[in-house]
């Protein structure tokens, strides 16, 4: 029997913010009025430790003495109700995993096991109904269950030995009734006709009955998710209802059919054909010359020129969008997290470095009362907040800058949530080798392990949501492991690795069967070799279970050893699992049994071609684009800004790291006040070891209300708006490429339902045809139905273009006295835009941008010109005096494709002579919107704009009180007497570290040599060897840099613990001490590195020592979420060598991105640190004054402390990411001094 110890960890009262938020949530949203208090405990059951190790782990790993209380028994008062919640068996528990990795470093063995639970103690007068309601609200059965309060005897999972894979006896002779019963019993996603087709194949060609695995593999292979079954259905007839607005749809259909004839298309008429006809037409015309085409299907890929140190190189730019609608609907955190993880995998499998993400989502009103939640649904608030946490958690951990976050609200999304991830990746073209596999080539499985938690990923993603889904779909959503995918990111960024890869495929929803099955025609797969998360998996589960962090790569036999060596260097598991053959059959073995043996030709049929008819209904005969009559302009403007789809989403967006990678050209919110939203994202191409001025612009277009009125117009204007936004950011519409995302109701045999995607795709086709652009990729999701509810008929257009950074334009008004112009887009009586006018506007504006004449631009969207100019004004607090010739009514009309432009008045005089251009007014410095005699305070408009979602996604926390100012410490510390050449900087990379590239490049720009080393801890031997190597490299270094990230996912329940545990190893502690005090070296920690230095004791004490209950520390931001934005910080002490080249009082504008950045210390400690000059930097307001105002001190650090040093200044820790300002064309829409020269100072210390 195992020796199992149990402990409970809870935040001390002043730090128990999560419990306070949960109490308020249950009282206000669940209306549990008898609830008076909540205490939250993290329960750990631990096996495999001796007494000494367990006692050490209590305060080093499982808790933090300054903020946590540890209990051996659960402290419960009489009358309390205890609720314990744990993950379902097989779900990934990052907290337990990270705890075990930390314990491995503590004991240098792999013998420990940890299981966790969240224990909630409820106090108050609660009825049985109250407790049941709380359990229902807090436990999602898809991912979790109520845990027992009893002690456990073992932490080992009990798995039964799986039986051999069964043959489906009698399959080839079953009648229709028996086949239907089999389909229902197995829960197959394929159609009955497909199953009959399988029966014929096995009866006539294989002359045997299939195994269960074979039917499951075929079901997965032919799923709508993997093979776009709905989009490939033949449309035998398309008819149209007569109506004013169906005429352009019918003309679009005739144009489509004409194009098919011109291209001599013989394939059936399908949704897929409609979606791809534009690209085929343009290619036939000799256009799209920079498309990168190959047999690999990774992501949309174009060839672009990239400036690298002034020399043009050929690069591949990859982009991909994907939805996880069904998984997010039933388990919002995991579904949204794996939406991003899955989206990343596609361009990553193309050997690109994925560097930026966009998130576009659809939801019902998140303010809806919980009591109004439909049966079988999660509350909208739970969905939207949980999904935001999941997506941001994954992106923040993997180190991916999320440049735009936009959530659309419409009651149709109650049917099913929309969760779209879109990502960009890039790589030098020379890094990517694409060769056809040949017999004998080896297939290597790289990355994560297989579990049964992903067995329904492909078939489940295409399911219609029912009232039973929450109870029955647990195997269709995984918990992602971003730290493993980060390792693959690192590996595939290495040229010497990627040139060994002939072909690569990600382990998406189809698991082994699809990921490996698609690599080549003939394959022999040994499922016994597939690494497993746990025992008990049968052959079928191993064949079809997806994994979020795995790749299958094809490598020539002579390159296998070299590839495996590189994988080991990146701490990645790599396993040979298959070999390419010349049989043109997919063969899988398990336990000596052939459980799959199918011809490639049969698999590639994709099943029986379905046939349907479509009927396009007429949009309602109304003027959708004209706003209701404006009788009170002030009220209308305020009401418009408070509309849910126009309202500020800053509180949502700023939980996503937008600056990692040091490539962000435009912050999501710009201007002096960081309030003007950017309608897209701009980032520099991820060039290593060089400088570039080449950036990508990525935008999207969509309006659910317009799509509901007319799917045709909705899709057409989605394309137009995505291009307009791109042009407004400085892009050239002539170089644009598109990708689409479709999301529609379950179509079945409903002809009118089929008419919706037909209408939308025809609208998108006409827009592409007229603009001369092409959607070279896309993704469809056709399951947006719940009972009698359906999602809006959705087509989202994504647009991308490369551009020089000097041409990038941000949307915030720049200064008073400039002209505000409207470049309008006229429409005809059928609601179709004048494409020639649109192209002329786009081309003229791009020429003006290149000439440097455009100050700001904003595409007009929902809310019309009124919403656009208000948002442009918020960033710098400017007003607009509107010309008398521009009527109040025209302010609010819908004008998709129009662009508001700020320019100087001289240029404006010339520009208004152009067709479709008029002056709206002049910018003013008075903070007022003036139209005639009406004056509306910008502050009132901003309040109306920020109010609607502030209760769901708060923009800032409550502000503390008190004076935070400190006297300046102006005495510089001593300089080194001995000069040095180029100092060497050692940068350790732990699981979860994601700022190592930015940190290394910052030091190298300053003249140092960066030495980056990945910790290997897959085995105890790997760990021991890594520690020895680290100690040697520290001995050769002059500086050690602890970079930012999420070491071990900031688990268990606290940041920096993994690094701190690692460097408490005696060999590394000794190496640190020697570096600092025998060799006169320096240490720097930023963000997660600062957290590690604090938890090591190096800060503020200067030496590694245990934390005490009263030690200063860093803990959770009071707002309760991640914070990503720019802050102003003031240097208040120059005692440290890190500040030898600045003056006390200097203010720098620096990026923050953290969830645990609140510095806490006692008043006595603060006074002592200040007196010694150890408080290095403080958060300050726009006047340079240290403050508790949460607008400027967002994490609510005590005395506004942002950075501190050791007593002698050698060790510096700070939260703000100084390393992320890499060039003058970074953060262009943010004012201030963004260059904080600490890296140059650190290097100069040795010269």
Rounded-to-integer distance, Cα 923 and Cα 93, Å: 53
The beta strands (E) that lie in 48-110 are given as 68-71, 81-87
Question: Per-residue b/e over 553-567, b at no fewer than 16 CB within 10 Å?
Answer: bbbbeeebeebbebb
Q: Residue 1227: which residues within 8 A CB-CB, separation 6 or more?
A: 659, 664, 665, 666, 667, 1126, 1149, 1151, 1221, 1234
* C-beta separation of 1088 from 1144 below 8 A: no
Given its phi and psi angles, is residue 1002 left (phi above 0), alpha (psi -120 to 50 degrees) or beta?
alpha
Q: What are phi and psi of 750, to 5 degrees?
A: -75, 110
Q: Identify the sign of the CA torsion 632, 633, 635, 636.
A: positive
SS3 content of the chain, % helix, strand, coil (to 5): 35, 25, 40
Torsion of CA 104, 107, 112, 118, to 10 degrees: -70
Rounded-to-integer distance, Cα 721 and Cα 1059, Å: 46
Please report, for residues 409, 623, 708, 867, 900, the alpha-carbon distance to residue 628 in angstroms, rounded to integers and kept in the order given: 21, 10, 18, 15, 22
* Strand, helix or coil for residue 1153: strand
Is the bond leading into 52 cis (omega within 30 degrees of zero)? no
The beta strands (E) that lie in 258-391 are given as 300-308, 311-323, 353-363
* C-beta separation of 1155 from 1117 below 8 A: yes
Rounded-to-integer distance, Cα 513 and Cα 527, Å: 10
Rounded-to-integer distance, Cα 591 and Cα 173, Å: 28
* Strand, helix or coil for residue 268: coil
* Lookup: tokens for 768: 């592409």
Mind telling me the catalytic residues?
Answer: 1087, 1217, 1219
What residues does 608 pair with on adjacent strands? none
SS3 string, 114-170, reads EEEEEEEEEEECCCHHHHHHHHHHHCCCCCEEECCCCCCCCCCCCCCCCCCCCECCC
What's the Rg (C-alpha) of the chain? 30
Q: How many C-beta neighbours within 10 Å does residue 301 have?
A: 29
Rounded-to-integer distance, Cα 487 and Cα 124, Å: 47
* C-beta separation of 844 from 912 below 8 A: no
Rounded-to-integer distance, Cα 451 and Cα 548, Å: 11
Rounded-to-integer distance, Cα 1099 and Cα 950, Å: 36
Rounded-to-integer distance, Cα 41 and Cα 20, Å: 13
Beta strand 984-989 pairing with 928-931: unpaired
Q: How many C-beta neighbours within 10 Å does residue 1247 have?
A: 12
Residue 134, exposed/middle/buried by CB under 10 A (0-12, 13-18, 19+)?
Answer: buried
* C-beta separation of 132 from 41 below 8 A: no
Nearest to 1206 by CA among 1072, 1103, 1092, 1078: 1103
* Lookup: tokens for 643: 């509309």
Rounded-to-integer distance, Cα 951 and Cα 366, Å: 10
Please report, for residues 341, 357, 391, the alpha-carbon distance to residue 659 in angstroms, rounded to integers and kept in the order given: 19, 11, 16
* Lookup: tokens for 935: 């004056």
């Amino acid at each position: 029997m195992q020796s199992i110890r149990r402990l409970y960890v809870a935040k001390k009262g002043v730090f128990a913010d999560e419990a306070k938020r949960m109490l308020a949530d249950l009282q206000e949203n669940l209306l549990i009025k008898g609830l008076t208090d909540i205490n939250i405990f993290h329960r750990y059951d631990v096996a495999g430790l001796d007494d000494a190790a367990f006692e050490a782990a209590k305060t080093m790993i499982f808790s933090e003495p300054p903020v946590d209380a540890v209990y051996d028994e659960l402290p419960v008062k009489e009358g309390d109700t205890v609720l314990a919640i744990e993950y379902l068996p097989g779900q990934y528990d990052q907290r337990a995993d990270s705890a075990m990795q930390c314990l491995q470093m503590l004991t240098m063995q792999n013998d420990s096991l940890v299981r966790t639970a969240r224990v909630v103690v409820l106090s108050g007068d609660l009825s049985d109904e109250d407790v049941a309601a709380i359990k229902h609200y807090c436990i999602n059965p898809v991912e979790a269950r109520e845990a027992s309060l009893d002690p456990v005897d073992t932490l080992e999972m009990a798995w039964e030995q799986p039986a051999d894979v069964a043959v489906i006896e009698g399959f080839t002779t079953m009648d229709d009734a028996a086949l239907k019963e089999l389909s229902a019993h197995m829960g197959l996603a394929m159609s009955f006709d497909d199953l009959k087709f399988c029966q014929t194949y096995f009866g006539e060609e294989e002359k045997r009955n299939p195994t269960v695995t074979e039917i499951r593999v075929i079901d997965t292979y032919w799923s709508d998710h993997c093979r776009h079954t709905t989009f490939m259905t033949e449309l035998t007839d398309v008819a149209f209802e007569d109506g004013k607005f169906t005429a352009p749809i019918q003309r679009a259909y005739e144009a489509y059919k004409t194009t098919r004839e011109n291209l001599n298309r013989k394939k059936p008429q399908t949704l897929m054909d409609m979606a791809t006809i534009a690209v085929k037409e343009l290619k036939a015309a000799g256009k799209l010359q920079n498309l990168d085409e190959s047999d690999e299907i990774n992501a949309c890929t174009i060839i672009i020129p990239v400036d690298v140190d002034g020399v043009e190189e050929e690069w591949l730019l990859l982009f991909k969008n994907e939805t996880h609608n069904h998984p997010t609907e039933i388990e919002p955190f995991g579904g949204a997290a794996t939406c991003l993880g899955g989206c990343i995998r596609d361009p990553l499998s193309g050997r690109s470095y994925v560097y930026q993400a966009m998130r576009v989502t659809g939801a019902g009103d998140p303010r809806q009362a919980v009591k109004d939640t439909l049966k079988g649904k999660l509350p909208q608030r739970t969905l939207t907040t949980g999904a935001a946490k999941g997506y941001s958690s994954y992106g923040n951990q993997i180190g991916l800058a999320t440049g735009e976050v936009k959530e659309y609200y419409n009651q149709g999304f109650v049917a099913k949530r929309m969760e779209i991830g879109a990502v960009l990746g890039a790589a030098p073209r020379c890094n990517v080798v694409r060769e056809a596999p040949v017999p004998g080539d080896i297939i290597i499985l790289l990355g994560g392990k297989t579990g049964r938690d992903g067995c329904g990923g492909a078939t489940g993603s295409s399911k219609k949501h029912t009232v039973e889904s929450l109870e029955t779909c647990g195997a269709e959503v995984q918990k992602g492991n971003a730290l493993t995918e980060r390792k693959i990111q690192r590996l595939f960024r290495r040229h010497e690795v990627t040139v060994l890869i002939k072909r690569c495929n990600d382990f998406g929803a189809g698991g082994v069967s699809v990921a490996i099955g698609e690599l080549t025609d003939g394959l022999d797969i040994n499922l016994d070799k597939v690494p497993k998360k746990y025992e008990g998996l049968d052959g079928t589960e191993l064949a079809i279970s997806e994994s979020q962090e795995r790749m299958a790569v094809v490598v020539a036999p002579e390159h296998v050893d070299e590839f495996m060596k590189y994988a080991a260097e990146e701490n990645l598991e790599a396993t040979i699992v298959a070999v390419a053959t010349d049989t043109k059959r997919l063969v899988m073995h398990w336990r000596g049994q052939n459980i799959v043996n199918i011809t490639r030709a049969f698999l590639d049929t994709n099943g029986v071609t379905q046939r349907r008819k479509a009927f396009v209904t007429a949009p309602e005969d109304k003027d959708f684009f004209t706003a209701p009559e404006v009788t009170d302009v002030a009220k209308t403007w305020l009401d418009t800004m408070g509309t849910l789809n126009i309202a500020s989403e800053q509180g949502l967006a700023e939980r996503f790291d937008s600056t990692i990678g040091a490539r962000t050209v435009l912050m999501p919110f710009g201007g002096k006040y960081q309030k003007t939203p950017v309608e897209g994202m701009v980032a520099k191409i991820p060039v290593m070891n060089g400088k570039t001025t080449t950036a990508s612009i990525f935008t999207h277009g969509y309006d659910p209300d317009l799509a509901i009125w007319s799917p045709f117009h909705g899709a057409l204007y989605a394309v137009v708006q995505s291009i307009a936004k791109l042009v407004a950011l400085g892009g050239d519409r002539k170089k644009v490429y598109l990708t689409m995302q479709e999301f529609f109701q379950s179509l079945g045999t409903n002809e009118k339902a089929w008419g919706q995607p037909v209408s939308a795709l025809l609208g998108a086709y006409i827009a592409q045809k007229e603009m001369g652009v092409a959607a070279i990729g896309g993704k469809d999701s056709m399951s947006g139905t719940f009972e009698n509810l359906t999602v809006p008929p959705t087509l989202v257009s994504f647009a991308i273009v490369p551009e020089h950074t000097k041409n990038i334009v941000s949307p915030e008004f720049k200064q008073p006295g400039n002209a505000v112009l409207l470049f309008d887009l006229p429409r005809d009586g059928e609601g179709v835009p004048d494409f020639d006018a649109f192209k002329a506007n786009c081309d003229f504006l791009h020429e003006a941008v290149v000439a440097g004449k455009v100050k700001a631009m904003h595409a007009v969207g929902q809310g019309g010109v009124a919403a656009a100019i208000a948002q442009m004004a918020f960033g710098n607090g400017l007003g607009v005096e509107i010309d008398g010739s521009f009527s109040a009514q025209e302010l609010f009309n819908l004008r998709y494709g129009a662009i508001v432009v700020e320019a100087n008045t001289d240029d404006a005089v010339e520009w208004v002579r152009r067709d479709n251009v008029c002056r709206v007014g002049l910018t003013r410095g008075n903070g007022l919107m003036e139209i005639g005699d009406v004056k509306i305070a910008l502050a009132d408009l901003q309040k109306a704009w920020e109010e609607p979602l502030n209760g769901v996604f708060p923009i800032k926390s409550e502000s503390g009180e008190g004076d935070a100012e400190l006297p300046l410490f102006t005495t510089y510390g001593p300089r080194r007497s001995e000069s040095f050449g180029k100092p060497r900087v050692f940068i350790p990379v732990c699981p979860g570290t994601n700022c190592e590239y930015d940190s290394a490049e910052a030091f190298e720009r300053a003249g140092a040599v960066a030495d980056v080393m990945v910790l290997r801890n897959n085995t105890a031997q790997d760990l021991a060897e890594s520690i020895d190597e680290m100690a040697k490299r520290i001995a050769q270094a002059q500086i050690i840099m602890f970079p930012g990230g999420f070491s071990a996912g900031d688990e268990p329940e606290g940041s920096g613990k993994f690094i701190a545990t690692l460097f408490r190893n005696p060999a590394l502690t000794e190496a640190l001490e020697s570096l600092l005090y025998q060799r006169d070296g320096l240490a720097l920690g930023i963000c997660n590195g600062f957290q590690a230095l604090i938890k090591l004791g190096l800060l503020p004490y200067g030496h590694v020592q245990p934390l005490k209950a009263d030690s200063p520390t860093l803990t959770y931001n009071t707002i309760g979420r991640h914070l990503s934005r720019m802050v102003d910080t003031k240097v208040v002490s120059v005692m440290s060598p890190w500040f030898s080249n600045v003056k006390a009082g200097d203010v720098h504008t620096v990026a923050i991105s953290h969830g645990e950045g609140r510095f806490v210390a006692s008043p006595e400690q603060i006074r002592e640190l200040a007196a010694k000059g150890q408080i290095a930097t403080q958060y300050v307001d726009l006047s340079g004054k240290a403050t508790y105002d949460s607008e400027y001190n967002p994490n609510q650090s005590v005395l506004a402390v942002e950075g501190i040093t050791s007593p002698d200044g050698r060790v510096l820790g700070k939260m703000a990411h100084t390393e992320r300002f890499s060039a003058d064309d970074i953060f262009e829409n943010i004012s201030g001094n963004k260059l904080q020269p600490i890296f140059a100072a650190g290097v100069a210390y040795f010269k």
